[in-house]
Chain A
């Protein structure tokens, strides 16, 4: 994939994503993690998962998408690989037995810290479901950057423990991507981290800023400088045809016409299920993700989905949650937000108020993008001579 191209999501984003929060435990204590209360107690059991699956598969009217992504998350999902294995077996069996259309179009998706990837139980699961698996390992970049945030409880970095599983992972999932995160402290390491990931063989790097408000004055300038250094590196080493980094997109930094009023985030269109079988519009609305607000429940696997609670998410648009400065912004396109984070920070208990503290960071990214595309077009122009 060349620079600037967006990774096409499976089924072009039309699949229903159903997320099982199988555990709230994790071996790591990442500095930027939105989970504020990791624990070993809250673990999903098979009965809850089965009830949820039965409800979902037997209510086709409510879940009428042509495809499904069964997503497993935690905490660290691979801590519960035996449960997940049992759940996936049940899902496959039920989809087949019910002659559900999803049997012909499903995926199992994982976002993992990678520590248990090489474990025998995990490998057995992968082998059994290989053709339907999407497995993403989170690595933040260089050892220095990764170990500054992704740490064990005793403060040790996890880079070595994670990367020892890399060769196996990349062999099993060629073309797989990683999920890298950048926070305030590790901004100065951004460029080297992207390059490092490329050098590891991950040509397609999805890297994002944390969505929480961790930014301090001056961060935008550091961010811009790092992206420009990365831009120079890409052009100097002619990586623009073969490597990709999600920071550089052709489509960002344009004004958005007021008629284009869709919401950025898919919360409400997906479904997250916690260990008790409670339904949420996405994982960022569950109790352990909230610092200021009550969790936002939209039903449970026993009583079903409360469509009235889902309703606001399906009518939420850009104009009714964004302040005027955003609606009139000349470089608005590509400015992202997290609905759960917005809700947690809003003045009232509403999803209709957008947090705007990422404004300076977005504009920094836009400036860096302009620099890159301008320089690249000059370079390509010279190449064509």
Chain B
């Protein structure tokens, strides 16, 4: 059922996505996941041929842990402070660490994650510029979306456009770097989401399972069960994590969107319904991809990619939601109840240009 596991190695593990970990900056000794628990998890993953994402904190692991981790197919998600210790790890950066970006070694084949908060938006495009040469693929994740205002979204749009123009130039010069929020939508023909709780499960240092680390860090009581190597964890109402049970997302084509269920739960209280902010941000990115693809049409391999259609809305909720009341009597009344002259008069009053066109 699950394709891979997310294992949080210590309570202060790095946040690699939209959620925040309030313990990340905690001082003092780290509290690692118990070694015996880790042994069981690694053995399980090997037996089931599951890939494992290990989430590291700021502290280098004890040798026994490192040896154990090396026995299973995995990727290390590490903070900047551990880049020397684990040069093969996926670097997780906060935009606020930009002063240290210069210490990141050039590496055109690496994946980097960049987390961007509200106050970092203004410098987003220049932060990405600072990282040029250090990655093949950059995954941008916005943090604190629940606090974003309309102004933040407008600012983001400006920054994404600026990034798009530079990326477009890079592609025209034959560059092969990827930035998730711009590149992915051009390439995707169907949804490519996080699928937390569907394709992967998170195991925390306390031995409990969670849909994703965000749920664990928010509230340890939000567990979906105690991890047990002998029994598959069944999540209550797991169907609500699937695309088919997402009323807005199932009709959306912002395929690159992660459909973050943690943010859904946080902002709308429903795990299968995204907030307006999530949708608008995803469509801002979609539009930037659309524009970029249009301008790259005469370059291989972009000439082979299907066009992204233009939309009149930024929020698919507008086309999915059931109407609340209806102050328009023309639309509310049954056609059989309307006098023909009235009907035509009301159409004319709504659309005076119709008669001109006729």
Question: Touching in the complex, A and B, CB below 8 A?
Answer: yes
Q: How far is the CA of A317 from the CA of B326 in the complex (A)?
A: 18
Chain B CB count within 10 A is highest, among A65, A296, A311, A316, for A311
Q: Does B325 contact A (CB under 8 A)?
A: yes
Q: A269-B325, A311-B273 are in contact. List 18 more A-B contacts (CB 8 A).
A: A65-B326, A66-B327, A269-B322, A308-B268, A308-B276, A308-B277, A312-B268, A315-B247, A315-B317, A317-B247, A320-B272, A347-B236, A348-B236, A350-B237, A350-B240, A350-B270, A352-B240, A353-B237
Q: How far is the CA of A12 from the CA of B324 in the complex (A)?
A: 13
Q: How far is the CA of A279 from the CA of B277 in the complex (A)?
A: 21
Which residue from chain A places its CB closest to the CB of B316 in the assembled complex? Answer: A315
| Interface size band for B | 20 to 34
Q: Is the CB of B237 within 8 A of A12?
A: no
Interface of A is mostly: loop
A-side contacts of B245, CB under 8 Å = 320, 352
Q: Is the CB of B237 within 8 A of A312?
A: no
B-side contacts of A143, CB under 8 Å = none
**B311-325, CB < 8 A from A:** 317, 320-322, 324-325
Q: How far is the CA of A350 from the CA of B245 in the complex (A)?
A: 12
Q: Is the CB of B325 within 8 A of A14?
A: yes
Known: A65-B324, A65-B325, A308-B275. Contact between A351 and B270, CB under 8 A? yes
A-side contacts of B276, CB under 8 Å = 307-308, 311
Query: Using an 8 Å CB-CB cutoff, how does the interface string of A15-26 with B read, 1 for contact, 0 for none?
Result: 110000000000
Chain B CB count within 10 A is highest, among A64, A315, A346, A350, for A315
B-side contacts of A65, CB under 8 Å = 324-327
Q: Is the CB of A315 within 8 A of B322?
A: yes
Q: Is the CB of A14 within 8 A of B332?
A: yes
Known: A311-B275, A311-B317. Contact between A348 and B325, CB under 8 A? no
Which of B236, B237, B277, B321 interacts with A314 by CB under 8 Å? B321
Q: Does A367 contact B (CB under 8 A)?
A: no
Known: A317-B247, A352-B237. Contact between A312 and B322, CB under 8 A? no
B-side contacts of A308, CB under 8 Å = 267-268, 275-277
Q: Is the CB of A64 within 8 A of B237?
A: no
Known: A308-B267, A312-B270. Contact between A12 and B332, CB under 8 A? yes
19 contacts between A and B (CB under 8 A): A16-B324, A65-B324, A262-B322, A308-B268, A308-B277, A309-B268, A309-B269, A311-B268, A312-B270, A314-B317, A315-B317, A315-B320, A316-B247, A346-B237, A347-B236, A348-B240, A350-B272, A352-B272, A353-B237
B-side contacts of A320, CB under 8 Å = 245, 247, 272
Q: Does A349 contact B (CB under 8 A)?
A: yes
Q: Does B17 contact A (CB under 8 A)?
A: no
Q: How far is the CA of A347 from the CA of B321 in the complex (A)?
A: 25
Chain B: minimal CB distance from A85 (Å): 27
Q: Does A263 contact B (CB under 8 A)?
A: yes
Chain A: minimal CB distance from B338 (Å): 14
B-side contacts of A312, CB under 8 Å = 268-270, 273
Which residue from chain B places its CB closest to the CB of A308 in the assembled complex? Answer: B275
Which of B237, B322, B324, B332 interacts with A348 by CB under 8 Å? B237
Known: A12-B332, A308-B268, A320-B247. Contact between A269 and B236, CB under 8 A? no
Which of A262, A315, A347 interacts with B273 by CB under 8 Å? A315
A-side contacts of B329, CB under 8 Å = 66
Query: Using an 8 Å CB-CB cutoff, how does the interface string of B243-281 with A read, 1 for contact, 0 for none?
Result: 001011000000000000000000111111101110000
Which of B237, B317, B325 interacts with A15 by CB under 8 Å? B325
Q: How far is the CA of A346 from the CA of B325 in the complex (A)?
A: 28
Known: A296-B269, A311-B268. Contact between A14 and B326, CB under 8 A? yes
Q: How far is the CA of A312 from the CA of B270 in the complex (A)?
A: 7
A-side contacts of B272, CB under 8 Å = 320, 350, 352
Which residue from chain B places its CB closest to the CB of A268 in the assembled complex? Answer: B324
Which of B270, B277, B325 interacts with A16 by CB under 8 Å? B325
Q: How far is the CA of A29 from the CA of B326 in the complex (A)?
A: 38
A-side contacts of B320, CB under 8 Å = 315
Chain A: minimal CB distance from B54 (Å): 28
Chain A: minimal CB distance from B322 (Å): 6
B-side contacts of A315, CB under 8 Å = 247-248, 273, 317, 320-322
